[in-house]
Amino acid sequence: MPEAITEHYNYWLVIFLLMAGLFVTITSGNLVKKIVGLNVFQTAVFLFYISLAKLEGGTAPILTGEPERFSNPLPHVLILTAIVVGVATTALGLALVVRIRETYGSIEEAGLQEADRQDELRAAAEQGR
């Protein structure tokens, strides 16, 4: 295999996952599925960072007393933080979805636009009266 492929295939597959998440976020009309798309995007970013930290022939960065080559622990720490923050933002997003559902009666983009249109029509009718 050419060197360019063996050196970068991991990054390319992770970029495919990134783009799959982005596609779901853009095209899905359902708010829950949009948030899942964002989550997929986010997990792919995590995998990208951890791929950067991998060292050929390295092991997990835990000292055992023997001289070893360790993968880079710094990205691991950053992503550990990012995973927990990611869940916090997911929870906030889903709470917003629940609130939107209560106010609009729908979690579909089309349903939300329809509800807004109905509201405008009603307001216009009341002004005309």
Partner 1 sequence: MAPDMVTVIDLVLLALLCAAAVALILVRQLFAVAILAGAFSMLSAGLLVTLDAVDVAFTEAAVGAGVSTVLLLGTLALTQRRSEESRRRGTGPALLAVVLTGGALVYATTDMPGFGDPEAPGFRHVVPEYIVGSETDIGVPNIVTSVLASYRGYDTLGEVAVIFTAGIGVLLLLGRRREDEIQDEARRSGSGDEG
Query: What is the per-residue DSSP string for 64-114?
Result: -SS---B--HHHHHHHHHHHHHHHHHHHHHHHHHHHHHHHHS--BHHHHHH
The site map against partner 1 for 10-29 (x = CB under 8 A) is: xxxxxxxxxxxxxxx-xxxx
Q: Which of 94, 121, 123, 124 binds partner 1 (CB under 8 A)?
A: 94
Q: Taking CB under 8 A as the rule, does residue 121 contact partner 1? A: no
Region 99-118 residues binding partner 1, contact defined as CB under 8 A? 99, 101-102, 107-108, 110-111
Distance CA 39, CA 88 (A): 12
**Residue 19 in tokens:** 């783009």
Find where tokens 């906030």 sit: 92
**35 close to 29: Cβ distance less than 8 angstroms:** no
Query: Which lies closer to partner 1 via its Cβ, residue 60 or residue 123?
Result: 60
Please give the size of the binding site for partner 1, defined by CB under 8 A: 86
Strand, coil or helix: 80:
helix
Q: Which member of 4, 126, 127, 129 binds partner 1 (CB under 8 A)? A: 4
Nearer of residues 99 and 124 to partner 1, judged by Cβ: 99
User: Looking only at residues 50 through 79 of this chain, which bind partner 1 when binding is defined by CB under 8 A?
Assistant: 50-64, 69-79
